[in-house]
Amino acid sequence: MVATVKEAITAQQDLQRPELYINRELSLLAFNRRVFEQAIDLHVPLLERLRFLCIISSNLDEFFEVRVAGLKQQAEYGSTQTGADGLTPNEVLRRISQQAHALVQDQYQCLNDQLLPAMATEGIRFLRREEWDTKQMEWLKTYFSNELLPVISPIRLDPAHPFPRTLNKSLHFIVSLEGKDAYGNKGGMAVVPAPRSLHRLIRLPAEVADGANEFAFLSSVLHTYIGELFPGMKVSGCYQFRVTRNSDLFVDTEEVDDLKRALEGELPSRRYGDAVRLEAADNCPEELANFLLRRFELDKEDLYQVNGPVNLNRLITLPDIVERPDLKYPSFTPGLPPRLPQTTNMFKAIASKDILLHHPFQSFIPVVEFIRQAAADPNVLAIKQTLYRTGLDSVMVESLMDAARVGKEVTVVVELRARFDEATNIGIANKLQETGVQVVYGVVGYKTHAKMLMVVRREADRLRRYVHLGTGNYHDRTARLYTDYGLFTCDKKIGEDVHNLFMQLTTQTRTSGLNKLLQSPFTLQPGLLDRIEREADNAKAGKKARIIAKINGLVSAPVIQALYTASQAGVRIQLIVRGVCCLRPGIQGVSENISVRSIIGRFLEHTRVYFFHNDGNPEVMCASADWMPRNLVQRVEQCFPIEDKKLKRRVIDDLELYLQDNTQVWVMQSDGTYLRAPLPGTQRPISAQQSLLDDLAQK
């Protein structure tokens, strides 16, 4: 026994070696590199390629605002603490700088050398200043005078007008001036903020355009006519710049008595946090670039000079305003499960059998209709729901308000700290409270990320709970863009579990134990580890053992170590990880039985599904949680079983389909790099997303 314990300790130590782990931030950059490959893929429709290019810019903004900002703070405090990968904050920052600079350079090269010429061929043109003809120049000058000039506030820099506070991610121009101003002062510099209220793309009207889709950049118009802002002086230089700031809000939950009020006070500071990145035009002179770096207290590696419009994300509106369906993904109408169109009564349909929806291939309307019917049904006594991300104009929010107005007991757990949605969620909370909804903000110190909806209905002489549990947010717009599962059930034990979870969220007291659900931060991680160990034990006993997990991120060291141990025992482990993955597959003696693939396609893969072979009695679970520390130990999450035999088979078949995908898959190598699977030659091409569209969308 002693020898066995020593061997176990040695094995555990071996599995903690830094070389067995990939850095989280570098893995996130690798994900954005895979997204970039969509932008250069000629099989992707042209305007969708542009959309992918813009998505990278949006992703990088958040990456710098949160992840890089946090690393910079650690480095500033002198921290040498390492993660499982053994890299210090300074080492990670150096590698981020190298990889992010290369990615941004490739972005603009793709824009200039591939996308813009291809769009011009299709009649979608961005006219540069030197390409404007006389009529276009006259029209744009009038546009400048009428639309821009009244809202611009240029600031000439001098002792009385110091360098202004620049808003996070807002476009500005640094302008160098010659000559004397009205007061006899010489030249100098000025800062001109681009009006945030105006679109960055200006569509030229038919009377001056050669086609229906000709555009000028707002930045080009400003650049051309910026001299109008400084009469009597000469503009000798004008260059775009944009600063990204630390946007992670800090609220000391032990020192505040009203989280909503504290967040409302903290939100404005997000606009003016510490600078973490400076973007500037590549023709900006070195002395001006250094001047800006000094002003923002940044180093040279924090400067990203670009050949094109600063902030490519502003181009993301183009596919929506250009009517060229031939250059976009084909439109589709989400389908409905066969039973739902036959009845208008959601409660009758759910009572007869569990219903599983797979968005966006299937419609989100049943979820909206479920709440609408609950609000109008006189037999419904109470509605409880969690809201993490939704919209101020959400139909679901309106239904919750309607239910409260007619006297139903409505309780909504609004997560105020959903990053970058704090202001929206505060607005939703205020709207709900005004109509009598009982609003709570979850648990102090833990974000409520669980996706739960429960309706209590009186039926004959009893109360019955109807439940919806999902892997994604209650957001009708993202339900058309993200892949997610949603389960309707009136299973008594699941209903009791959801009731207990809501009681825990509102009272913050312990539950007496859950019947079928797992939850973070209490039982989900131990439950996962137990199931992984069970598969390992089965493998050791010579039984078939298999794990499939489809998740967005894998970072948790305890889970990774458990997977390594299971692999060593002979368990076949197939991971479908869209984004961050800190596990290294294919290492002899450690993870040779583990494969990792990433699917990047039309829709953002967002489903969290766990499959365990369980000695021939498969266990299938869906969850709101990824396998990351924040999900497993720092948030309130739910994980629910799929028990209906047909629905369970369907989810397993979906997983097998994603494992067979050979057109949109990237395979992770043991060194952390990803290789795109070669397009099939004689093999039948398989796209999981397209196959699901063909099977589930409305014909």
Chain segment 89-121, per-residue pLDDT in tens: 999 999 999 999 999 999 999 999 999 999 999
Tens digits of residue pLDDT in 211-239? 999 999 999 999 999 999 999 899 999 99
Positions of CATH 3.30.870.10 in the chain: 340-516, 519-696
User: Could you tell me whether strands 619-623 and 546-551 are parallel, antiparallel, or unpaired per DSSP bridges?
Assistant: unpaired
What pLDDT shows up at residue 253? 44
Whether the per-residue pLDDT at 126 is higher than 70: the answer is: yes
Q: Output DSSP code: residue 180.
A: E
How many angstroms separate the Cα of 337 from the Cα of each of 358, 366, 478, 640? 10, 10, 20, 20
What pLDDT shows up at residue 423? 75
Between helices 134-143 and 218-225, what is the axis angle to 10°?
Answer: 90
What does the DSSP assignment read for 71-125?
HHHHHHTT-----TT---HHHHHHHHHHHHHHHHHHHHHHIIIIIHHHHHHTTEE
Tell me how far apart the terminal alpha carbons of the chain are, to the nearest angstrom: 63
Whether the per-residue pLDDT at 181 is higher than 80: the answer is: no
What pLDDT shows up at residue 563? 98
Whether the per-residue pLDDT at 3 is higher than 70: the answer is: no
445 confidence band (pLDDT: 50, 70, 90): confident
Rounded Cα–Cα distance for residues 102 and 210 (Å): 36
In the predicted model, what is the mean pLDDT of the chain?
91
422 confidence band (pLDDT: 50, 70, 90): confident
- Please give the share of the chain, as a percent, with pLDDT higher than 70: 93
What pLDDT shows up at residue 141? 96
Torsion of Cα atoms, 340 then 341 then 345 then 347, to 10°:
0
Please count the other Cβ atoms lying within 10 Å of the Cβ belonging to residue 516: 17
Cβ atoms of residues 239 and 173 within 8 Å = yes
Please count the other Cβ atoms lying within 10 Å of the Cβ belonging to residue 16: 15
Gyration radius of the chain's alpha carbons: 28
9 confidence band (pLDDT: 50, 70, 90): very low
Which range is least confidently modeled, 107-116, 472-481, 572-581?
A: 472-481
Please count the other Cβ atoms lying within 10 Å of the Cβ belonging to residue 117: 10
Please count the other Cβ atoms lying within 10 Å of the Cβ belonging to residue 61: 20
What pLDDT shows up at residue 304? 98
252: Cβ–Cβ under 8 A, 6 or more apart, which residues? none
Whether the per-residue pLDDT at 682 is higher than 80: the answer is: no
Positions of CATH 3.30.1840.10 in the chain: 140-263+272-327
Report, as residue numbers or ranges, the catalytic residues.
449
Q: What is the mean pLDDT of the segment spanning 622-647?
A: 97
Stated as kind and residue range, the H or E segment containing 351 is helix 346-352
How is the chain split among helix, strand and coil, in percent rounded to 5?
40, 25, 35
Q: What is the mean pLDDT of the segment spanning 265-282?
A: 75
Please count the other Cβ atoms lying within 10 Å of the Cβ belonging to residue 183: 6
Residue 224, both tokens: 């051309």
**Three-state SS for 656?**
helix
Stated as kind and residue range, the H or E segment containing 677 is none
Rounded Cα–Cα distance for residues 520 and 564 (Å): 23
82: Cβ–Cβ under 8 A, 6 or more apart, which residues? 18, 88
User: Yes or no: is domain 519-696 CATH 3.40.718.10?
Assistant: no
13 confidence band (pLDDT: 50, 70, 90): low
What pLDDT shows up at residue 254? 42
What pLDDT shows up at residue 272? 58
In the block, which residue shows the tokens 């419904």? 380
Whether the per-residue pLDDT at 265 is higher than 60: the answer is: no
How many angstroms separate the Cα of 181 from the Cα of each of 160, 175, 188? 14, 14, 10
What pLDDT shows up at residue 421? 65
Residue 87, both tokens: 């890299």
472 confidence band (pLDDT: 50, 70, 90): very high
User: Yes or no: is domain 140-263+272-327 CATH 3.30.1840.10?
Assistant: yes
Stated as kind and residue range, the H or E segment containing 321 is helix 318-321
What pLDDT shows up at residue 681? 67
Rounded Cα–Cα distance for residues 341 and 286 (Å): 65
Q: What is the mean pLDDT of the segment spanning 296-308?
A: 96
Please count the other Cβ atoms lying within 10 Å of the Cβ belonging to residue 333: 9
Which range is least confidently modeled, 62-76, 88-102, 565-579?
A: 62-76
130: Cβ–Cβ under 8 A, 6 or more apart, which residues? none
What pLDDT shows up at residue 493? 98
Strand partners for 355: 488
Domain at 340-516, CATH from 3.40.50.10420, 1.20.1250.20, 3.40.50.150, 3.30.870.10: 3.30.870.10
In the block, which residue shows the tokens 């400076």? 278
What pLDDT shows up at residue 11? 55
**Three-state SS for 185?**
coil
What pLDDT shows up at residue 52? 97
User: Could you tell me whether strands 619-623 and 609-612 are parallel, antiparallel, or unpaired per DSSP bridges?
Assistant: antiparallel
The closest alpha carbon to 394, from 498, 450, 473, belongs to 473
Cβ atoms of residues 315 and 309 within 8 Å = yes
680 confidence band (pLDDT: 50, 70, 90): low
